[in-house]
Amino acid sequence: MEYRIEHDSMGEVKVPADRYWGAQTERSRGNFPIGVGLETMPREITHAFGILKKAAALANHKLVPQRMTQEKLQAITTACDEVIGGELDENFPLVVWQTGSGTQSNMNANEVIANRGNEIAGAKLLHPNDDVNMSQSSNDTFPTAMHIAAVLGIEQKLLPALASLTEAFRKLAKENEGIVKCGRTHLQDATPIRFSQEISGWSESLATDREMIEAALPMLRRLALGGTAVGTGINAPEGFGEEAAAMVSEITGTKFVSAPNKFHALTSKDEFAFAHGALKALAADLMKIANDVRWLASGPRNGLAEITIPANEPGSSIMPGKVNPTQCEAVTMVAVQVIANDTAVAMAASQGNFELNVFMPVCAYNFLQSVRLLADAMKSFEERCVCGITANTDKMRENLNKSLMLVTALNPYIGYEKAAETAKKAYRENISLKEACVALGYLTAERFDEVFRPEEMC
């Protein structure tokens, strides 16, 4: 491999000649060989750095054009567009497990943009710190990248997948109007319910989760940019934070604002803890829904077997013909991971010391993984399971007619205790509720048929 010599304030460093990063990135590669190849900084953060560095250059050009000249601006913004578009991803090799402020990742962005910008300009025009990092600090850029990545991930990936899955369940409910089945509580038979009503509970859970996630977005739209090192804004021109946030909004096409209190923006990650709580709520609901689906599909002969789900692949290496609810299992495993991530995010958010939180990379890593996993899992679950669910109406009717909890319909006519006695006798003697009720002398056969209408119980 060929190398070139780069230098920073600590001296010279050998850097791979075919990469745009510089000395500080290379030092980080050597100092943090932790999870290499597996846990690099999320690409969402890399691309967000491209956005914020472009926005910062535009703001600096407007506020201090004598320092951020048109020539420098052009080189920076062109390089940033390549970062945003993912064209330079291989130049961002650093792992999550680095300094807690994300300083090395900020410098990685500065070096790549400076070196690529210089290549574009055909001259040694840009300095990583003086130009690309102008009016900024790692302490305000990394939290800014976190917020940009979180908002874009939620808006562009998570919410569309959530809306589509919600609509798929609403469509499924309409397709199954009028089908009455046995309800269940505590995994025991309960009073009847329409299958469409059961499905409506799933779709409404997802709609509620959407409301909670959207409620967290306004706080994630507040950017730390402009706070620089400790929140005072040292070395940044007046109005830089507001101008940079406006530029971020223009670049991304979604609203961002300058955080009103930069001291809070640098040291607190409460917005992330709050927003991830909503992601955890979604994970919990997806766990419940996926479990319901696989329970209802259990069998096909010795389970509930009230619905059929798509057979996507063979389910066993030894049992021919076996089909498993694999999409449900994938969703539930994602839910477990997201719920675990919530603990990591909460712990990371608690580690603000004085003027800075120093657990930001791990906070961002877990948050963005949750967004990505939830979006992907919902899309797969919808396409490969939900859209293929069909009701086994004969089995639903059979299970409903065998349910002893239909006896609840008799409460207004014979009272709770006599109804309970009727159910117990029917169960004990393996006879119908009608036979038990008539045998006990509580209702005539004609009166029983008159008042016992399961389809009207839901």
User: How many other β-carbons are positioned within 10 Å of the β-carbon of residue 336?
Assistant: 12
Percent of the chain with pLDDT over 70: 100
C-alpha–C-alpha distance, residues 144 and 221, integer Å = 9
pLDDT given at position 395: 97
pLDDT above 90 (res 38): no
| Parallel/antiparallel/unpaired status of strands 11-16 and 3-8 | antiparallel
Task: Pick the more confident residue, 190 or 320.
Answer: 190
Cβ-Cβ contacts under 8 Å for 119 (sequence gap 6 or more)? 20
Asked if the model's pLDDT at residue 398 lies above 90, the reply is yes
Strands 180-185 and 390-391: unpaired
Q: How confident is the model over 415-431, as a mean pLDDT?
A: 96
Is 267 a residue whose pLDDT tops 90?
Answer: yes
- Domain map of the chain by residue range? 3-134, 140-181+192-221+260-394, 403-456
Q: What is the pLDDT of residues 86-114, one digit of tens each?
A: 999 999 999 999 999 999 999 999 999 99
Instruction: Give CA 63 to chain center in angstroms.
Output: 37
Say whether 15 sits in a helix, a strand or coil: strand
Q: Is the CATH number 1.10.275.10 carried by domain 3-134?
A: yes
**Over 90: is that where the pLDDT of 48 sits?**
yes
Chain CA centroid to CA 171, Å:
23
Residue 28 falls in the annotated catalytic set: no
Average pLDDT across the chain, whole number = 96
Q: Which of 41-50, 262-271, 283-292, 399-408 has the lowest mean pLDDT?
A: 399-408
Domains 140-181+192-221+260-394 and 403-456 share a fold: no
* 309-317: long-range contacts, CB 8 A cutoff, minimum separation 24: 309/385, 309/388, 309/389, 310/384, 310/385, 310/388, 312/384
Quote the pLDDT of residue 125. 98
Contacts of 311 by beta carbon, 8 Å cutoff, 6+ apart: 323
Q: Is the pLDDT of residue 176 over 90?
A: yes
Catalytic option among 9, 135, 147, 186: 186
pLDDT tops 90 at residue 317: no
User: Between 248 and 454, where is the model more confident?
Assistant: 248
Contacts of range 291-297, beta carbons closer than 8 Å, 24 or more positions apart: 291/328, 291/332, 292/198, 292/202, 293/325, 293/328, 293/385, 293/386, 293/389, 294/325, 294/328, 294/329, 297/325
CB count in 10 Å sphere of residue 420 = 15
pLDDT of residue 415: 97
If you average pLDDT over residues 23-31, what whole number do you get?
Answer: 91
pTM confidence score: 0.94
Better pLDDT: 193 or 315:
193
Give the pLDDT score at 316. 84
| pLDDT score for 454 | 87
Catalytic choice (316, 317, 403, 432): 316
Assign domain 140-181+192-221+260-394 one CATH number from 3.90.550.10, 3.30.830.10, 3.40.50.11260, 1.20.200.10: 1.20.200.10
Among residues 435, 47, 35, 390, the alpha carbon closest in space to that of 251 is found at 47
Residue 7 falls in the annotated catalytic set: no
Min mean pLDDT across 22-31, 106-115, 194-203, 291-300 is at 22-31
Helix 360-384 × helix 270-296 angle, to 10°: 30
Architecture of the domain defined by 403-456: Orthogonal Bundle (1.10)
Rounded to whole angstroms, the Cα distance separating 442 from 424 reads 14
pLDDT of residue 425: 96
